[in-house]
Chains A and B, each alone.
Chain A
Amino acid sequence: MNKIKTILIFIIITLAAFAVRFYQLGINPPSLDWDEASIGYNAYTILKTGKDEFGNFLPLSIRSFNDYKASVYVYLTIIPVVILGLTEFSIRFTSAFSGSLTVIIFYFIFKKILEFDSRLTNKNTIALIAMAFLALSPWHIQFSRVAFEANLALFFVACGLLFFLNYVEKKSTFALPAAILFWGISLFTYHAQKIFLPVFIVGLIIIFRKKLLKNLSKTSLIISFIFLSVILFLLLRSSVVGGQSRFFSSSIFSERKTIIEYGENLLNSYLSHFDINFLFILGDWQVRHHAPQVAQLLLVQLPLVIIGLVFLLKFAFKANNVIFLWLLLAPLPAVFGKDSPNAVRSLLMIPILEFISACGIIAMIEYIKKPFLIFLFVTLVCANFLFYLHMYFIHMPWENSQNWQYGYKQVVDYVNKNQNKYERIIVTDAYDQPYIYFLLYEQPMQILFNNGEFYKGFGKYIFRPINWQEDKNLKNTLLVGTPDQIGQEKVIKQIDSLSGKPLFRIVAL
């Protein structure tokens, strides 16, 4: 393939990656989920006051719903908020933009890895096909279109790896420090990275043990050392501030079991990430993590991944070391979680699975050599991808809007317009964390620092379950409840999901 053609295809794939990640970004997924809302509000308060929602000055981790989110996503989101204002689009911008860049970075990573083996002739083609698969990957698109820290972290890990591969390949003063810097940032982007990255780096050191010291210069050693100390210092500091409570509360260690049962659980949740039903048929149990009727990968990729795996293993390419190191370690952050398989914590798997799919295509071209079969597969991949786009853009918002916390924005809009008429406003907490939407969507927006009790209420707002039999006797009150809590009588406003299912009923007393 000549150079111009390569560049042209590269540009087309890049544009496609950006297009599917930015098209309708603000309105599909149809609503911000709690974490996105919290990220947006914290970015805003830090921009305006330098303090987070709770009044902490430039925090290392964001307290949020007491889950102490890693903070890099929030800080980076300040930029789009400055430029575009505080909107759904700007909150998701960081993820969509870094997701698009991830696609580009991986082209270069794949190319570098493939360079290790002289037997491969069409490296550029493989890298381009893999890049195209990643650009159009349902799993990666899903997480690029929501403010997911995991997606941003994947970008930083990829950057770190690219610089690291540069470092082992040729003399460069800045490659090693840059790798350390990006990997360091990834640790503050997503907590689960703290499990994957150390093991991954040890693996890389073993793989490249012979080349490791060859390109080390004094300057790069000193800079690396400085970066490393800063990262370790910050890491220690942030872990002191109670950062890990979320990890333990939602991990399997919160239950009492024997060692064998723990081992079984860990192994089971690790292996479940390679389950065919998870990857190709059903996807994650959480509907927010994939489009309806499409799993984490396209169904037609199942044969491609199998063929690709056999191809890679059969010829024992030198590229396999890095590929399989990454793939086998990628589900590690997810094994401690209770609900596995978990597509967020195992997001790191996706670039490698797409690379293996690309190898499947190459294996068919090189070894099966039946043009009809190849044509058939390419057609099937395209058809399956178009089906995915259709499901994502047309059916996902309609079918799953309630799972995306659709309705909160509409509730806040209505309440804001009418709140002067009432002494107090009681909102159900049945859908969890209503307070963050009231902070985020309040117009005109004023910054109130959370005293830690906001989830129960602030100002005129009270967040609690509605008990109709008692609450109907209140006066000067606006009640916002679920259809289970409030019947159809006296309802002045009802908010439905996009498929017409009632979500909120509002009653004025």
Chain B
Amino acid sequence: MNKKNKLILIAIFLLSFILRFYKLGINPPSLYWDEVSLGYNAYSILKTGKDEFGRFMPLDAFVAFGDYKPVGYIYATIIPIAIFGLNEFSVRFASALAGVFMVFLTYFLVKKLLNDEKISLVASFLMCVSPWSLQLSRAAFEANLAAFFNLLGIYFFIKGIKEKGFWLIFSSIGFVLSFYTFNSNRILAPIFILILFAVYTKEIIAVKKYAVISFILGLVLMAPVVSYFSSRESRLRFNEVNIFSDLNTVVQANDRINLDGGSRLAKIIHHRFVGHAFNYLKHYFDNFSAKFLFISGDGNPRLSIQSVGELYLWELPFFLYGLFILLAGIKDKNKLFLLLWFFAAPIPAATARETPHALRIVSILPVPQIICAIGFIGIYNFFNNTNKRKIFTYAAGLLFILNFSYYLYNYYVVFPKKWAGEWVDGYKQAVSYVSENYNSYDQIFFTNYYGRPYIYFLFYLKYDPQKYNSLVARTRDWYGNWQVLGFDKFRFGDNLTESPGSLVFVPKGSTINGMSKIDKISGNSGLIYYDVYAK
């Protein structure tokens, strides 16, 4: 590696750090409730060793809202909270850092796989500026941390078979961590391990001692979480989102079989599994639609800024050419592995109704960027003299800067204003209003309209976890979701009986008879969210 490339690499790392940490605490404009819950549970573990429900150091899952969050992100957040305190920045810290590390790993992985300095540099640069990676690195998304662990597992696997078998142990640890961090990775980790073993069979046999050790180590480390899979909670969670519970498919299959007289052949070709298979394929290929990848990204405004795709439009031609190079060179193991990685990543996500889904398939990163880099360098090498190459690089660079500026403008100027509501803006201000007036009222009523207010109270008041657990009143519905009715002076709900000495928060525009409006609360975006009444 020459000096120039070293400088470029350092610049890329620096940029990836800036892009992920600059204004991390205030853009996205506020914390979504999942982020808050991760943060408070980490805080609770830090202070008491127990979670929000008083369970000591859970390893299978955190109950949280009843959605049973995997444990990885919460434990990873303890250290930043210990250092920076309980705030937006420290909650998002683990994800942002994972994003930076992924840029590093991309460079080293591509170098190991393809042994091409230029492709490695371009790939890590594209990862550095990737809207997909940036969006998910800049909020507390468990999936992003899991994608990092997944990449770590793959990187050490490749290092293990190409250098020393010893590294396979780290690979195993990487996969186990991804397994503990995000639900999709509980299916993906075994799939990726299977793919790696199938593609690199010969190499793995050469280091079989370490392979066996790592494998057994992995199994042992996964043991604590196994009991959770057979629990009612995990099945409920799956049924809630999966496509196979669609009744129309069954009705349609029965209609078709009846029309064909119920023959055995009809029962086979019109079997509901055929319908389910088609549904599955539809959801699977949704993740490869041009609209999702290149035009507007995930439809959820928390997962994409809506004006740029998951990849830059600029990358489209390079992506296509790179894909072609991979397909045409499929006999090369490393290329085959990249392709299999790319096409395996959406396998678990496609069982759910909401597709395409940038979050659930994020373990696909950095393959799309590697593909674009291969395509880019492919076209670059296609020009055979230095002048033409220079022109190509400058022209492509100029177009990229246009595309990148458009992204930055939208991310920092348009996005925080336009989608503040999606990030449940306004809670922070409401809670700080409450804490200033805490002593003046006997009871404080707060609306459920924007969802899960209690966790914001805990978070922004830095409420003592032990005290919370002894004061809280909560109920649980059939699906296992917990609803907190109140603790301390706080009561959450919308049908409230007010007594003298109470402070009431209602959604903007609602009125309460017999009380006087004393204030209104606006969020970071400047929009008004609450009217405050008192008696």
How many Å lie between the Cα of A277 and that of B291 in the bound state?
12
Contact yes or no, B281 A281, CB < 8 A:
yes
Contact yes or no, A272 B269, CB < 8 A:
no
Nearest-neighbour CB distance to chain A for B295, whole angstroms, equals: 5
How many Å lie between the Cα of A299 and that of B282 in the bound state?
12
Contact yes or no, A272 B259, CB < 8 A:
no
- Give the contacting residue for A267; candidates B260, B278, B295, B324; CB below 8 A: B295
Which of A3-11, A245-253, A387-395 contacts its partner? A387-395
Q: In this assembly, does B328 line the interface, its C-beta being within 8 Å of a C-beta of chain A?
A: yes
Nearest-neighbour CB distance to chain A for B418, whole angstroms, equals: 14
Nearest B residue (CB) for A387:
B269
Contact yes or no, B327 A306, CB < 8 A:
yes
How many Å lie between the Cα of A306 and that of B323 in the bound state?
11
Q: Which B240-287 residues have C-beta < 8 A from chain A?
A: 255-256, 259-260, 269, 274-275, 278, 281-282, 285-286
Q: In this assembly, does A276 line the interface, its C-beta being within 8 Å of a C-beta of chain B?
A: yes
- Give the contacting residue for A276; candidates B256, B285, B294, B295; CB below 8 A: B285
Q: In this assembly, does A236 line the interface, its C-beta being within 8 Å of a C-beta of chain B?
A: no
A223 CB contacts on chain B under 8 angstroms: none
A310 CB contacts on chain B under 8 angstroms: 324, 327-328
- Give the contacting residue for A275; candidates B275, B278, B289, B313; CB below 8 A: B289
Contact yes or no, A268 B295, CB < 8 A:
yes
Q: In this assembly, does A113 line the interface, its C-beta being within 8 Å of a C-beta of chain B?
A: no
How many Å lie between the Cα of A310 and that of B327 in the bound state?
7
Contact yes or no, A395 B259, CB < 8 A:
yes
Q: Which A251-307 residues have C-beta < 8 A from chain B?
A: 264, 267-268, 271-272, 274-277, 281-282, 293, 299, 306
Contact yes or no, B295 A277, CB < 8 A:
no
- Give the contacting residue for B328; candidates A271, A276, A299, A313; CB below 8 A: A313
B278 CB contacts on chain A under 8 angstroms: 281, 293
Q: In this assembly, does B288 line the interface, its C-beta being within 8 Å of a C-beta of chain A?
A: yes
B259 CB contacts on chain A under 8 angstroms: 394-395, 398
Nearest-neighbour CB distance to chain B for A387, whole angstroms, equals: 6
Q: In this assembly, does B79 line the interface, its C-beta being within 8 Å of a C-beta of chain A?
A: no
Q: In this assembly, does B290 line the interface, its C-beta being within 8 Å of a C-beta of chain A?
A: yes
- Give the contacting residue for A394; candidates B260, B286, B289, B296; CB below 8 A: B260
Q: In this assembly, does A314 line the interface, its C-beta being within 8 Å of a C-beta of chain B?
A: yes
How many Å lie between the Cα of A211 and that of B279 in the bound state?
50
Contact yes or no, A271 B290, CB < 8 A:
yes
Q: Which interface class (under 10, 10 to 19, 20 to 34, 35 or more) fits A?
A: 20 to 34
How many Å lie between the Cα of A293 and that of B271 in the bound state?
12
Q: Which A365-398 residues have C-beta < 8 A from chain B?
A: 387, 390, 394-395, 398
Contact yes or no, A276 B269, CB < 8 A:
no
Q: Which B352-390 residues have C-beta < 8 A from chain A?
A: none
Q: Given contacts A281-B278, A313-B324, A313-B328, are A274 and B288 in contact (CB under 8 A)? A: no
Nearest-neighbour CB distance to chain B for A304, whole angstroms, equals: 14
How many Å lie between the Cα of A274 and that of B324 in the bound state?
15
B288 CB contacts on chain A under 8 angstroms: 276
Contact yes or no, B290 A390, CB < 8 A:
no
How many Å lie between the Cα of A307 and that of B281 in the bound state?
19
How many Å lie between the Cα of A84 and that of B269 in the bound state?
39
Nearest B residue (CB) for A395:
B256
Nearest-neighbour CB distance to chain A for B107, whole angstroms, equals: 28
Nearest-neighbour CB distance to chain B for A295, whole angstroms, equals: 9
Nearest-neighbour CB distance to chain A for B318, whole angstroms, equals: 15
A282 CB contacts on chain B under 8 angstroms: 282
How many Å lie between the Cα of A293 and that of B276 in the bound state?
11
Nearest-neighbour CB distance to chain A for B58, whole angstroms, equals: 40
Contact yes or no, B290 A275, CB < 8 A:
yes
Nearest-neighbour CB distance to chain B for A28, whole angstroms, equals: 14
Contact yes or no, B256 A271, CB < 8 A:
no
Q: Which A288-342 residues have C-beta < 8 A from chain B?
A: 293, 299, 306, 309-310, 313-314
The digit string for B309-340, where 1 denotes a CB below 8 A from any CB of A, is 00001000000000010011000000000000
A299 CB contacts on chain B under 8 angstroms: 281
Q: Given contacts A310-B328, A313-B324, are A277 and B282 in contact (CB under 8 A)? A: yes
B327 CB contacts on chain A under 8 angstroms: 306, 310
How many Å lie between the Cα of A394 and that of B265 in the bound state?
14
What would be 18 A-B contacts, judged by CB atoms less than 8 Å apart?
A267-B295, A268-B291, A271-B291, A271-B294, A275-B285, A276-B285, A277-B289, A281-B282, A281-B285, A293-B274, A293-B278, A310-B327, A313-B328, A314-B328, A387-B269, A394-B259, A399-B255, A499-B255
- The 5 closest A-B CB pairs, nearest first, are A271-B290, A276-B285, A314-B328, A310-B327, A268-B295
Q: Kindly list 6 other residue pairs between chains A and B, CB separation below 8 angstroms, not including A275-B290, A314-B324.
A: A268-B295, A276-B285, A313-B328, A398-B259, A399-B255, A499-B255
Binding site for A on B (CB under 8 A): 255-256, 259-260, 269, 274-275, 278, 281-282, 285-286, 288-291, 294-296, 313, 324, 327-328
Binding site for B on A (CB under 8 A): 264, 267-268, 271-272, 274-277, 281-282, 293, 299, 306, 309-310, 313-314, 387, 390, 394-395, 398-399, 499
